[in-house]
Amino acid sequence: MAMIEFKNVSKWYGSFQVLKDCTTKVEKGEVIVVCGPSGSGKSTLIKCVNGLEPFQQGELIVNGQSVGAKTTNLPQLRAKIGMVFQNFELFPHMSVTANLNLAQVKVLGRSPEESTEKSRALLQRVGLIDHARKFPGQLSGGQQQRVAIARALAMDPIAMLFDEPTSALDPEMINEVLDVMVELAQEGMTMMCVTHEMGFARKVAHRVIFMDQGEIVEDATKTDFFGTPRSERAQQFLSKILHH
């Protein structure tokens, strides 16, 4: 059984169709890169996975549960799926450690001590243990994004979603974040990453999905995608982002 399975998912904003009949799946342990021009529906697609965006048609099964079903306990499902955002979205009024502890305590019911222990281990892992007491506003973008990844990992997720995790970063900070993501991928984490970092895709992705105007235009293995993308739109897109 696939970890994430989209079956003909469609979504509208009023009369504007933002997702058109999207069908794809992510197996356990797979790393999928989603790319495509701005406005093509990548963020919307990935936010459907944990129910942050509702959809009107089709079915979406995550870890055996139907996301759109009324009976699904969304908070419970979300707690198992980590998500990392373009703008980090750390809680500004909480220290780094408090950011990592919050959901562990409030959602998983861990004790504060146990949570802090877990948080410190993760901060160590992303290289930020010295910043545990700082506030998000006192960190660089790259550091904030690594904290955000640690915050997601603190919940022991079964899959991770990334929505352009490096596009708000200054170039010199992109690699520190990608390194953490590569490591995660190599450990076998199930990942769905919206990103234009084709180096990352080449290195760890199993499949690449190309979206345009709400459609999944291409859903290919990495080798096929970088070898001979079948669609003209994907070829054009690739040549654009690879040439700068």
Partner 1 sequence: MDFGFLSQPAFSGGGTYFDWVLSGIKWTMLVSICAWVIAFTLGSVLGVLRTTKLWWLKGPATAYVELFRNVPLLVQMFIWYFVVPEIVPKTLGMWLKQGMPMPEFWSAVFALGFYTASRVAEQVRSGIQSIPVGQTHAALATGLTMPQVYRHLLLPMGYRIVIPPLTSEFLTIFKNSSVALTIGVLELTAQARTISEYTFRTFEIFTLATVVYVLITMAVTVLMQLVERRLRVPGFIGTGK
Residues that bind partner 1 (CB under 8 A): 47, 50, 52, 75-76, 78-83, 85-87, 89-93, 102-103, 106-108, 134-139, 148, 151-152, 155, 168
Least Cβ distance, residue 140 to partner 1 (angstroms): 11
CB of 42 to Mg ion, least distance (A): 5
Least distance in angstroms from the C-beta of 127 to Mg ion? 27
What mask, x for binding ligand ADP by CB under 6 A, covers residues 1 to 40?
------------x----x-----------------x-xxx
Considering beta carbons, is residue 19 or 152 the nearer one to partner 1? 152
Query: Which is nearer to partner 1, 51 or 229 (by Cβ)?
Result: 51
Q: In sequence order, what are the residues at sequence separation of 6 or more whose Cβ sits closer than 8 angstroms to the Cβ of residue 40?
A: 211, 212, 213, 214
Binding footprint of ligand ADP, residue count (CB under 6 A): 10
Q: Is 43 in the site for ligand ADP (CB under 6 A)?
A: yes
Binders in 22-51 for Mg ion, by CB under 5 A = 43
Q: What is the largest CA-CA distance in the chain?
A: 55
Of 4 and 123, the one with the shorter C-beta distance to ligand ADP is 4
Q: How far is the CB of 157 from partner 1 (least distance, A)?
A: 10
Least distance in angstroms from the C-beta of 13 to ligand ADP = 4
**CA end-to-end span of the chain:** 39
**Inter-helix orientation angle 96-106/112-125, to 10°:** 130
What Å distances lie between residue 243 and 93, 97, 198, CA to CA? 41, 40, 11
* Strands 215-221 and 190-194, sheet pairing: unpaired
Element (H, E) at 115: helix 112-125
Strand order in the sheet with 159-163: 81-84, 159-163, 190-194, 31-35, 207-212, 215-221
Q: Which residues pair with 215 in a beta bridge?
A: 212
Q: Toward Mg ion, which CB reaches closer, 189 or 211?
A: 211
Angle at 60 between CA 91 and CA 107, to 5 degrees: 35
- Look at residue 28 and give the partner it binds from Mg ion, partner 1, ligand ADP, none, a contact being a CB closer than 5 to 8 Å depending on partner kind: none
Task: Summarize as ranges the residues that interact with Mg ion (CB under 5 A).
Answer: 43
Which residues lie near ligand ADP (CB under 6 A)?
Answer: 13, 18, 36, 38-44
